[in-house]
Amino acid sequence: MRSSLKVVTLLSILLIPAIFIFLRSDYTQAQSQPNLSNPEISRNIRLECNSCHGSGVLPNVGNEQLHRQEHRDYSTSIHAKIQPNGKPAAECRDCHTIKGDMTTDLPPDNPKSTVFASNQEQTCGRCHEQQLKTFHNSIHGKLLDKGDTRAASCSDCHGNHTIQPVSDLNSKLNRSHIPEVCIKCHSGIVPDYEQSAHGMAFKAGNTKAPVCIDCHASISHDTAPATTRDFSLQMVNKCSSCHEKQAPTYRDTFHGQATAFGYKPAATCADCHTPHKNLPQDNPASSVNPKNVVQTCAVCHKNANPSFATYNPHAEPHNPEKSYLIYAVSTFMKWLLIGVFGFFGIHTILWFQRSIVALIKGETHKRIRDDEEQWVVRFSERHRLTHVLIIVSFLGLAATGLPLMYSFSDWGHWLVDLHGGLGVTRFVHRACAIITFGYAGYHFWFVIKKALIERDWSVLWGANSMMIRKEDFIDAFNMFRWFFYLGPKPKLDRFTYWEKFDYFAVFWGVPVIGLSGLMLWFPNFFTLFLPGSVLNIAMIVHSEEALLATAFIFAFHFFHNHLRPENFPMDIVMFTGKMRMSWFKEERPVEYERMVADGTLDSIIVPPPSLKFRVFARIFGFIAYFIGLFLVIAIFITLFTVKH
């Protein structure tokens, strides 16, 4: 009995602590188990644990919830926003796994992770398909595609768990935070921006001041330019959208005209004002400050000198306060254009209507007969050669120069593309300029040789000279009387007043256009002894005089010689050098009567030109004819319909 009692007592002593430990353990587990009847706790655990690890409930670890901060960030992001289907836009596993497979949930620094830098575009692209397509074409996207993991990926710009709409002030890509985002990678550039006029204006609260993405739109979702130079060309339009006052003055320079055609060597805004540290001109650190501008120009113009640097790349020809000299030259050229076009426009219209009436009444005859045997020489071989050189060079100069003047027009771009690009256009233009100087020099030598060496003074005065005589004013007066049906058509001599105007237009234009063109061709040389402002004047004179010459030749000269009803569609006398005797009597009666009187008419009678030569002359003439008509029509349509 006593032995049994001892055993029971011993067992009791051993079991009581075991029972106590068991009960204590159960109590502790009960205390640590979450109360699933609490909806808030139940929802949090299902969001943070069940979504990844199944239906079982996991305990807290270290008394902290798993990924607590990440979930807090996520809960306020655009991804947590409930969609019409009742689900968030994106959940954890949508980004961190492949189709919810937890074995693909890897640390972000693992190259196989769905959120590794080079993999993010594919991960984000599952939902953002359009953005994925555009990202591939961007600067960052192209670098990542090449395996450069240093390039910014989606989360570098948009954030990871705190992504917000760009319009949200808390968004990393809201304009107010852009420099803070970009400086993480571009630590050497953003400080320059912050010191610039743009950066200072942005800091001062100017909402229109540009930030990184305003200029660098191609960093993420715009197609990246092929080269940095292509980017600089694109920036001209972006700069112009804000700097509206400066844009037209830049566009009127060669730099502006050339960049409109994508000509890479031409200076853009960034070349003069720097890409990021652009400062006002009066700032001593500015690249366009008078103390620094020579160095800035010398980047492209290697031998730039202080005088060269006084050229104004933003001249305002219509503003006398900016430069009265430039204003005066511009005003003179404008009124010269108005005067010439006004007079000859009226002259042409009056002549056209009078010629039609004259044909109807039989006062003149349409010159279409080819069976006449008697022909006379009107122009010598040297004159015909000079005229052919004028045609070729003039058409070349017009077809290559006018597109620059009208760089804002479609036909200007079409012509430059037809040439093979602006580089070819410039070469052809200069080659034609050399031809122009050649024929001008040849003709000048011809006149000097005739007058001074051969002592044939008739080249300088008299009926056979191109010099203006009092008879020319009388002919012009009587021509207008004929226009208004107040008298007969005047009898004309070897050279008419309108032909002499054509002649002097060429030999006024060649030195004026030629000298101004040489200044633009060799600016460094001319600014060794002239101020830089002459380049501004040269640009105005060269452009306006070229416009005057081309429009006059293709409109009025063509009418005088080809388009008037009795000559239509073409007079080929300048190409063949010969004309029919009947035409000679009707067109140049004074010369005809004089030659009959002094017995020299027989000396100019020649056989007719061959049929082949006449056909060739017409083909050549019509090619030149249609090129000229195309250009003059394009000019007038552009002047009246296009604003730039």
The verdict on 192 and 247 lying in the same domain is no
Q: Does a structural domain hold residue 531?
A: yes
Q: Is the pLDDT of residue 331 over 60?
A: yes
pLDDT number for residue 353: 96
Q: Which residue has the higher pLDDT, 234 or 52?
A: 234
Please write the tens of the pLDDT for every residue from 339-358: 999 999 999 999 999 999 99
Asked if 144 contacts 153 with a C-beta cutoff of 8 angstroms, the reply is yes
The verdict on 374 and 232 lying in the same domain is no
pLDDT number for residue 335: 96
pLDDT number for residue 31: 43
Please write the tens of the pLDDT for every residue from 464-519: 899 999 999 999 999 999 999 999 999 999 999 999 999 988 888 899 999 999 99
Q: Which residue has the higher pLDDT, 253 or 48?
A: 253
Cα 33 to Cα 35: distance, rounded to the nearest angstrom: 7
Q: Which residues contact 172 (CB under 8 A, 6 or more apart)?
A: 157, 158, 159, 162, 164, 180, 181
Task: Please calculate the CA angle 159-161-164 and round it to the nearest 5 degrees.
Answer: 65
- Among residues 77, 72, 100, 103, the alpha carbon closest in space to that of 88 is found at 77
Longest dimension (CA), the chain: 181
- Exposed, middle or buried, 256 (CB in 10 Å: 0-12/13-18/19+)? buried
Compute the residue count for the chain: 644
Q: Does a structural domain hold residue 347?
A: no
- Quick one: average pLDDT of 4-29? 50
- Quick one: average pLDDT of 19-35? 46
pLDDT number for residue 61: 34
- Quick one: average pLDDT of 429-458? 93
Q: Print the SS3 string covering 455-482.
A: CCHHHCCCCCCCCCCHHHHHHHHHHHHH
- Quick one: average pLDDT of 256-264? 93
What separation in angstroms does the CA of 484 have from each of 353, 470, 491, 544? 10, 22, 17, 33
pLDDT number for residue 462: 85
Last residue of a domain, one of 242, 275, 310: 310
Q: Does a structural domain hold residue 498?
A: no
Q: Does a structural domain hold residue 211?
A: yes
Residue 151 pLDDT class (50, 70, 90 cuts): confident
The verdict on 446 and 541 lying in the same domain is yes
pLDDT number for residue 46: 45
Residue 28 pLDDT class (50, 70, 90 cuts): very low
Cα 614 to Cα 621: distance, rounded to the nearest angstrom: 10
Q: Does a structural domain hold residue 468?
A: no
Residue 643 pLDDT class (50, 70, 90 cuts): low
Count of structural domains, the chain: 3
- Exposed, middle or buried, 223 (CB in 10 Å: 0-12/13-18/19+)? middle
Reported as half-sphere exposure (CB side, CA atoms, 13 A), residue 182 has a value of 24
- Quick one: average pLDDT of 397-416? 95
Last residue of a domain, one of 215, 237, 254: 215
Residue 103 pLDDT class (50, 70, 90 cuts): confident
Beta strands per DSSP E along 318-366: none
Q: Is the pLDDT of residue 561 over 60?
A: yes
Q: Is the pLDDT of residue 336 over 60?
A: yes
Q: Does a structural domain hold residue 369?
A: yes
The verdict on 83 and 210 lying in the same domain is yes
Q: Which residue has the higher pLDDT, 60 or 639?
A: 639
Q: Which residues pair with 61 in a beta bridge?
A: 64
The verdict on 180 and 244 lying in the same domain is no
Average pLDDT, the chain: 86
Q: Is the pLDDT of residue 215 over 80?
A: yes
The verdict on 276 and 393 lying in the same domain is no
The verdict on 419 and 565 lying in the same domain is yes
Q: Does a structural domain hold residue 292?
A: yes
Domain harbouring 525, CATH code: 1.20.950.20
587, two tokens: 């067109």
| CB-CB neighbours of 216 under 10 Å | 22
pLDDT number for residue 135: 84
Q: Does a structural domain hold residue 239?
A: yes
Q: Is the pLDDT of residue 65 over 70?
A: no
pLDDT number for residue 34: 42
Cα R_g (the chain), whole angstroms: 42
pLDDT number for residue 507: 80
Please write the tens of the pLDDT for every residue from 287-310: 999 999 999 999 999 989 999 999
The verdict on 164 and 263 lying in the same domain is no
- Quick one: average pLDDT of 215-241? 82
- Quick one: average pLDDT of 110-131? 88
pLDDT number for residue 138: 83
What separation in angstroms does the CA of 564 have from each of 143, 352, 556, 561, 568? 65, 6, 10, 7, 6
The verdict on 232 and 210 lying in the same domain is no
Residue 62 pLDDT class (50, 70, 90 cuts): very low
Tokens 């804000």 locate to 242
Last residue of a domain, one of 162, 185, 215: 215
Residue 44 pLDDT class (50, 70, 90 cuts): very low
The verdict on 236 and 361 lying in the same domain is no
Residue 605 φ/ψ, nearest 5 degrees: -80, 130
Residue 83 pLDDT class (50, 70, 90 cuts): confident
The verdict on 206 and 246 lying in the same domain is no
The verdict on 239 and 194 lying in the same domain is no
Domain with 147 in it: 76-215
pLDDT number for residue 363: 84
